[in-house]
């Protein structure tokens, strides 16, 4: 059978693309190396922050506004709590990226927000002990998404819409043909008019010929047991905190019950790796460093580590995404390099990839994600 579109990789972005394509009546084949909603890449760990006051670049905000609409639709269509609004507190010195960047995006796009001085932070959110002189931007529309639930919801809806999804199918190679593309796995060879490649941390191997510079980093997630129990952290905002050195940590409410702890992590404190070489063991010195850092902001989190996990960031040099039709091929669409901040965009990226694969263009603003900005020619 020849398909309209083959989607390679069924993690966050690929599962959303498969759904949006199938919902448009495309004959879709999805191929995934691992099991559904697996924990080997980037789309796992129980929670991912969602927010609109985007300190990375205000250019992301229109995509976030659309993503929020699609998060609502996904929750309704799947009858699952794929996301939850908790509010978000973004703390740091007034001139820090976390605070100043969030404020810039909020003002440029007229997003509802509040700016809190350090005393107001302590009063409104007594778990926090910010440094003197720190400020915070509070965004009521921030919260978290559930990555495994989101991936599974998109997969289920894709199959319901007619997509064929095959797991345990590692893609060995793909190539263009006169009529489209051919994709080869150990289990067989498949043909389609279009291919959408969402390789995650496997981008350096699968997309080597494109020359897109992507570095894979090992990141660690920690679930700490609060002193005195999780009750004060149940009704709690997500947070990002930046210190004077520019180092960021982030965290979530207690969302996994009394013995589930509170999830926290460093942002962009990783070691370069590959999917084949990543160290999946979390070491005592890493746990100690995380506890010491977060206890400065949230003293109650100076408790034992209940659980830890690793994931991978696939980073571009400028930490912006790659989403585009291949500049030299009308049959190939690529989405990669989400640089540790892509999951909140999953629903809208799926919509964009469906646009590109079916019409070659999208009305969404994606010029920032053109891979030609990263490829040097000699």
pLDDT band at 327 (very low <50, low <70, confident <90, very high): confident
- Burial grade of 301 (CB within 10 A; 0-12, 13-18, 19 or more): buried
360, 333 Cβ separation under 8 angstroms: no
Q: Residue 377 pLDDT > 60, yes or no? A: no
143: enclosing H helix or E strand = strand 143-145
pLDDT > 90? residue 100? yes
Contact at 8 Å (CB) between 167 and 29? no
133: tokens are 């002189």
pLDDT tens digits, 257-301: 999 999 999 998 889 999 999 999 999 999 999 999 999 999 999
CATH class of 2-44+148-212+318-374: alpha beta
Looking at residues 348-374, what average pLDDT do you find? Answer: 96
pLDDT in tens, 179-191: 899 999 999 999 9
Query: Over 60: is that where the pLDDT of 378 sits?
Result: no
List, for residues 76-89, the tens digit of each pLDDT value. 999 999 999 999 99
Buried b vs exposed e over 189-198: b needs ≥16 C-beta within 10 Å?
ebbbbbbbbb
Residue (of 338, 361, 364, 362) closest to 14 by Cα position: 338
Write down the pLDDT at residue 330. 87
Residue 187: phi, psi to the nearest 5?
-90, -10
Are 2-44+148-212+318-374 and 77-144+215-314 in the same CATH fold? no
Number of helical H runs and strand E runs in the chain: 8, 20
How does residue 376 score in pLDDT terms, banded at 50, 70 and 90? Answer: low
Pairing state between β 215-224 and 188-197: unpaired
Quickly state the pLDDT bin for 64 (edges 50, 70, 90): very high
When pLDDT is cut at 50, 70 and 90, the band that residue 331 belongs to is: very high
Domain ranges of the chain: 2-44+148-212+318-374, 77-144+215-314
| pLDDT per residue as tens digits for the range 179-233 | 899 999 999 999 999 999 999 999 998 888 788 899 999 999 999 999 999 999 9
Q: Encode pLDDT of 253-269 as tens digits.
A: 999 999 999 999 999 88
Instruction: Name the pTM for this structure.
Output: 0.96
Q: What is the pLDDT of residues 120-144, one digit of tens each?
A: 999 999 999 999 999 999 999 999 9
Secondary structure (3-state) at 240: strand
d(CA 94, CA 100): 6
Could you give the percent of the chain with pLDDT greater than 90? 91
Selecting from 2.40.30.110, 1.10.3720.10, 3.40.50.300, 3.30.9.10, what CATH number does the domain 77-144+215-314 have?
Answer: 3.30.9.10
């Amino acid at each position: 059978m020849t398909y309209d579109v083959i989607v390679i990789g069924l993690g966050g972005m690929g599962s959303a693309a498969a759904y949006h394509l199938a919902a448009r009546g495309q004959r879709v084949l999805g191929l995934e190396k691992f099991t559904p909603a697996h924990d080997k890449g980037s789309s796992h760990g129980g929670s991912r922050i969602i927010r609109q006051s985007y300190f990375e670049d205000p250019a992301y905000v229109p995509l976030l506004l659309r993503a929020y609409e699609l998060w609502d639709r996904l929750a309704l269509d799947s009858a699952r709590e794929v996301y939850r609004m908790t509010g978000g507190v973004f703390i740091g010195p007034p001139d820090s990226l976390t605070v100043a960047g969030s404020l810039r995006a909020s003002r440029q796009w007229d997003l509802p927000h509040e700016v809190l001085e350090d005393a107001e932070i302590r009063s409104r959110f007594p778990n926090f002990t910010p440094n003197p002189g720190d400020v915070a931007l509070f965004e009521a529309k921030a919260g978290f998404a559930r990555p495994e639930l989101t991936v599974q919801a998109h997969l289920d809806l894709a199959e319901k819409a007619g997509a064929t999804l095959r797991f345990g199918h590692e893609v060995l190679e793909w190539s263009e043909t006169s009529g489209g593309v051919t994709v080869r796995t150990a289990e067989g060879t498949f043909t389609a008019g279009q291919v959408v490649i969402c390789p995650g941390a496997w981008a350096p191997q699968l997309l080597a010929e494109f020359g897109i510079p992507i570095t894979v980093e090992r990141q660690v997630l920690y679930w700490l047991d609060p002193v005195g129990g999780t009750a004060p952290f149940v009704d709690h905002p997500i947070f990002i905190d930046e210190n004077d050195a520019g180092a960021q940590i982030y965290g979530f409410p207690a969302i996994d019950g009394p013995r589930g702890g509170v999830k926290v992590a460093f942002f962009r404190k990783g070691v370069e790796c590959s999917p084949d070489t990543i160290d999946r063991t979390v070491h005592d010195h890493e746990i100690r460093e995380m506890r010491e850092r977060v206890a400065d902001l949230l003293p109650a989190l100076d408790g034992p580590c209940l659980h830890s996990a690793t994931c991978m960031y696939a980073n571009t040099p400028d930490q912006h995404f790659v989403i585009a039709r291949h500049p030299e091929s009308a049959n190939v669409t690529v989405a990669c390099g989400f640089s540790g901040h892509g999951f909140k965009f999953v629903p809208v990226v799926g919509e964009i990839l469906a646009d590109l694969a079916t019409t070659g263009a999208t009305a969404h603003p994606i010029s920032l994600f053109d891979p030609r900005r990263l490829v040097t020619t000699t």
